[in-house]
Amino acid sequence: MAAKKLSAKARVAARKQRDKWKNKRWFTIRAPRHPWNFKRIGETLGETDEHIMGRIYEMTQQEFSGDFTKMHVLLRFRVTEVVGQDALTTFVGHAHQSDHTRRQIRRYRGKIDDVVDVVTTDGYLVRLKPLMITERRCQTSVKQAMRSKSAEIIRGIAAKANYSQLQESMLGGDMETEIRNAIKAIYPCRNVVVRKSQLLQSGVVTEKGPTLDEIHAEEERKEAELQAKKAAALAEAGSDDAEEDAPVEGDLLAAAEAMESISEKEAPAAEEPAAEEPAAEEPAAEEPAAKESTESESDLMKLKKDALVEKAKAAGVATSGTKADIVARLLE
């Protein structure tokens, strides 16, 4: 069946639809002001500001902070505001990768999960999910006591901290350390982590801290300093190369002149004893012969008797007696 031809309007509409990519532009994704001072964390592509509003950007904590021990922790940021080419975000939670959590749990170990909802001093409602792993299996009453103690500590930390301070305590490990120290008196604990967090409701956004313009100025200053350092390093390397090349050329010229003068002095002296060299070579020819005789004797002694007998037959000497007798006859 023949393909149906498109009308002129359909072709124009298809061409316009394909050209949508030309209208898109790159936006710089920045972390929240508190506690990360609008740190640049990535880029995203969008046509307008409305298209990227609400997008979720995920990255590992290792990529964010450079700590390789946190490569299994995923951070989640939501775009909440667009200023020019900058997409400002809010931290909406984190999660441990499931394969890392499964590796912590083994046979004969206890696993204790809990869900704790807390409210910070600036009105943010956050849900935290701690995970405690014991060295051995424990009773339900012990698990309940550990859950109660960990929830008490988490609520106490959140009641004294704002949202940015809660993030630092949760991601930095201070909260986990405090829980571990408190529950190890109840039962031996192998590991304690806050495996997941989730922002349920936003609170009061503070305007304190550096502005976006100040961050841009600081980034431009650092970039200019970096470029100046690179230029200075390149100029210094070029001057060092020039200084090293100059003495090398002078040394080569001096060495060449010295070699020419030495060759001119040695040329007449080398021509005179040329005729006497054959006389000096005659006694040298006898030394290898003497060495060959001594070496042939040692070589003959290394041979087996059957091989010596064959050599004696070939040389026409008697083959009776010991190896030493046969070798003596061969040498004679």
The CATH number for 104's domain is 3.30.479.30
Residue 250: predicted pLDDT: 56
Assess if residue 274 is contained within a domain. no
The verdict on 192 and 219 lying in the same domain is no
pLDDT number for residue 86: 93
Is residue 2 a part of any domain in this protein? no
Name the domain boundary from 96, 118, 146. 96
- Per-residue pLDDT at 244: 62
> Does residue 253 share a domain with residue 307?
no
Domain boundary among the residues 162, 187, 206 is at: 206
Q: Are residues 196 and 119 in the same domain?
A: yes
> Residue 194: its pLDDT value, please?
95
pLDDT reported for residue 172:
92
Give the integer Cα–Cα distance in Å for 114 and 129. 6
Residues 299, 263 share a domain: no
Reported as a single tens digit per residue, the pLDDT across 8-28 is 877 777 766 666 777 889 999
Domain residues for the domain of 32 are 21-96
Calculate the average pLDDT of the chain. 82
Residue 132: inside a domain: yes
**Tally of domains within the chain:** 4
pLDDT of residue 312: 81
In this prediction the pTM is 0.62
pLDDT score of 293: 46
172 and 194, same domain (yes or no):
yes
Q: What is the pLDDT of residue 187?
A: 93
Domain boundary among 157, 183, 206: 206
What CA–CA distance (Å, rounded) separates 138 from 153?
21
Judge if 27 and 81 occupy the same domain: yes
Domain co-membership, 226 together with 180: no
Give me the residues of the chain with pLDDT under 50, please. Answer: 1, 269-270, 272-295
